[in-house]
Amino acid sequence: MDSTVVDVDASNAQPVTLTVTFDGTPVAGVKVYFQNPDSSLISNTLTDDDGVATALMPNGGFVTSVDAFGVPVPAGVSRREVHIYSGVKPGDHLNLANHSFDSQTVEITGPIDTTAGVTTYEMSSPCGRTRVANPGSAGGPPIWTLSLDRPCPTTDFLLTSLDGEEQIVHWAYVPNVAVGPTIDLSSASLTSTPTTKTYALSNADAFGSQAFVRQVLASSHGPVEEFQDTASDLNVNLLLAASMGLPSFPNAIDIVDVSAAPNVDAEHHLIDWGAFANSYAVDVGARALPEISAPTVDTTLHQLTWTQAVGGAVPDFVTAFATVTRSEPSFSNWRVWIAAPAGTSIALPTLPTDVADFNIAATDEVFITNVNLGKVPGGYDAVRANIFDLAFAVLDGRSPTTFITGATGSATLELWAPRGRLARTAPQKRILTGRTH
């Protein structure tokens, strides 16, 4: 394309910034393009020593980073990565962050539960979780070896004793613990009993005959523990129901993620959060987003398009992830992340070619990995700054609760992936059967 920089009408524009960090450290020297809605170039620049690039932009343009985190590839193979923010507004402060997964190992001594039937102890925190078998009366207190999955100078611990059916017998909560190589929690009182919480999903035929209920309990440090049950047996009143026994620790942030995949390629999530409550109800039919299918890249119109069913709640934004392979004139491979206001298509900017030609051609092989719709408090404006947190979470297989802000709220997501490649698989945490003590 013509990479000539165009003038911007300052009366309709404000600075837009992109900050790139890795493990909280600024990443300098990242190529960034600022473009108008018609792809004309505003600025072709690099992030500075603070990881920041900025330009004066009007409403609705594009901001694109190239190789922000240096994607590792096998020797002799060229693979690049671009992140595209579409529908940018004047005054936006965009953040592109990534994290390493270096772990810290700590040894934790816990309290003993002498109740008959205890078979397992579990320890969970915002920084990691683990469990050990009950050492028995002659084995001393339970000792956990925990690999913390992120920097964690201070955290909260939830200790639970479980019976042979994976149900909570007792629990103890220890907040604001300084993390070191060894942690002694043996004085914690492992005597609190679980609280029964019920879940009612009305108009649930939109989800088919069953749904997964993921219950997350969080503190100010992040998600402490999560539990999952299956709501099944849709009754004549189109109601799905479930119940769990939960550790209702003080000041818990109660996050419920109800999900289902009535279409094998599309997974729906209804997410609600607030103070802990012993009952939860949601109208599935009123919240579910429209089904999407068959995403494809139209190289003539230069956009990603898909089919969207009639009806359903109106989404606020869409994110997509694809890999592109080009064989001629030389082999190259790159990944494309893009976020945009909701619609049935995403316009792709025509990018400068000074680094490489990332403009998808008809002869390129394109594999669309994810297309995700979202409806959140405040809409796309509220989440655009950190929009790729969702994309990272989905591809990592984590519960998509990234957009939880404020004391209470609701969000609805739909995650599309090719058949058999949905991000969520069977729960990695224990599945509660609905039986409570």
Q: Are residues 108 and 87 in the same domain?
A: no
User: Cα separation of 74 and 323, whole Å?
Assistant: 16
Is there a contact between 389 and 100 (Cβ–Cβ < 8 Å)?
A: no
SS3 379: helix
Mean pLDDT, residues 86-97 taken together: 96
Question: Which pLDDT band holds residue 320 (cuts at 50, 70, 90)?
Answer: very high
Structure tokens at 2: 């013509």
The overall average pLDDT reported for the chain is: 87
Q: Is residue 363 scored above 80 in pLDDT?
A: yes
Please tell me the total count of domains within the chain.
2
Domain membership flag for residue 280: no
Structure tokens at 37: 């809605």
Q: Among 173-177, 188-192, 220-224, 364-368, whose mean pLDDT is lowest? A: 220-224
Mean pLDDT, residues 246-254 taken together: 96
Question: Which pLDDT band holds residue 407 (cuts at 50, 70, 90)?
Answer: confident
Domain membership flag for residue 279: no
Q: Are residues 90 and 124 in the same domain?
A: no
Q: Which of 278, 250, 282, 251 is nearest to 269 (CA)?
A: 282
Mean pLDDT, residues 330-352 taken together: 93
Domain membership flag for residue 409: no
Mean pLDDT, residues 395-413 taken together: 76
Domain membership flag for residue 77: yes
Domain boundary among 98, 127, 147: 98
Q: Among 17-21, 151-155, 251-255, 349-353, whose mean pLDDT is lowest? A: 151-155
Domain boundary among 80, 98, 116: 98
Is there a contact between 339 and 346 (Cβ–Cβ < 8 Å)?
A: no
User: Cα separation of 299 and 363, whole Å?
Assistant: 9
Q: Which residues pair with 148 in a beta bridge?
A: 104
Return the residue matching tokens 């493990």.
23
Return the residue matching tokens 């309709």.
12
Q: Is residue 138 scored above 70 in pLDDT?
A: no
Q: Say what the pLDDT of residue 101 is.
A: 65
Mean pLDDT, residues 399-421 taken together: 79
User: Cα separation of 231 and 213, whole Å?
Assistant: 7
Is there a contact between 88 and 65 (Cβ–Cβ < 8 Å)?
A: no
Q: Are residues 78 and 147 in the same domain?
A: no
Using alpha carbons, list the distances in angstroms from residue 198 to 71, 229, 230, 261, 277: 45, 11, 12, 22, 9
Domain boundary among 160, 184, 208: 184
Q: Among 169-183, 329-343, 390-404, whose mean pLDDT is lowest? A: 390-404
Q: Say what the pLDDT of residue 406 is.
A: 79
Structure tokens at 368: 């669309």
Query: Can you list the pairs that 384-387 forms with residues at least 24 positions away whose Cβ atoms lie under 8 Å?
Result: 384/85, 384/87, 384/88, 384/89, 384/92, 384/94, 384/317, 384/339, 385/92, 385/93, 385/94, 385/95, 386/95, 386/97, 387/85, 387/317, 387/319, 387/339
Q: Is residue 403 scored above 80 in pLDDT?
A: no
Q: Are residues 92 and 146 in the same domain?
A: no
| CATH number of the domain to which 18 belongs | 2.60.40.10
Give 190: exposed, middle or buried? Use CB within 10 Å, 0-12, 13-18, 19+: buried
Q: Say what the pLDDT of residue 417 is.
A: 87
Q: Residue 75's domain spans which residues? A: 14-98
Is there a contact between 70 and 21 (Cβ–Cβ < 8 Å)?
A: no
pTM reported for the whole predicted model: 0.87
Q: Say what the pLDDT of residue 38 is.
A: 96
Is there a contact between 57 and 13 (Cβ–Cβ < 8 Å)?
A: yes
Question: Regarding predicted confidence, which is higher, 35 or 420?
Answer: 35
Q: Say what the pLDDT of residue 1 is.
A: 43
Q: Is residue 339 scored above 50 in pLDDT?
A: yes
User: Cα separation of 100 and 214, whole Å?
Assistant: 26
Q: Is residue 323 scored above 50 in pLDDT?
A: yes
Is there a contact between 389 and 38 (Cβ–Cβ < 8 Å)?
A: no
Domain membership flag for residue 22: yes
Q: Say what the pLDDT of residue 99 is.
A: 78
Domain membership flag for residue 332: no
User: Cα separation of 31 and 289, whole Å?
Assistant: 36
Task: Label the pairing between strands 143-148 and 222-232.
Answer: unpaired
Domain membership flag for residue 174: yes
Q: Say what the pLDDT of residue 346 is.
A: 95
Q: What's the distance, Cα to Cα, between the start and end of the chain in Å?
A: 67
Q: Are residues 177 and 116 in the same domain?
A: yes
